Structure 1
């Protein structure tokens, strides 16, 4: 299981870091918190993208 920082996920999504944080706050992008940091499971992000970025 590979964990991505928000900045890395933003690059994959071709979005700004601020927009990525906004989508995380809205619950659009699946994520987890480890300590105080937000991390995104790469496989979950890929599944999210394959579904066209739809909310689950």
Structure 2
């Protein structure tokens, strides 16, 4: 599953495209792409999700 995650670092918010991967009983988040400090619009998010989910299935 690919989704956008916001991290707050030193009071500033940054956005990343991440995927979840189960390792045993834990779920790890793997960063796929840094998206910047401004929240990406829905169209950009959907394009990136489709691109990375398609690549992950192959």
Larger % of strand: which?
Answer: 2
Q: Which has the higher contact order (CA 8 A, sep 6+)?
A: 1
Larger % of helix: which?
Answer: 1
TM over 0.5: no
Under a length normalisation based on structure 1, what TM-score does the superposition of the two structures give? 0.34
Under a length normalisation based on structure 2, what TM-score does the superposition of the two structures give? 0.34
Greater Rg over alpha carbons, structure: 2
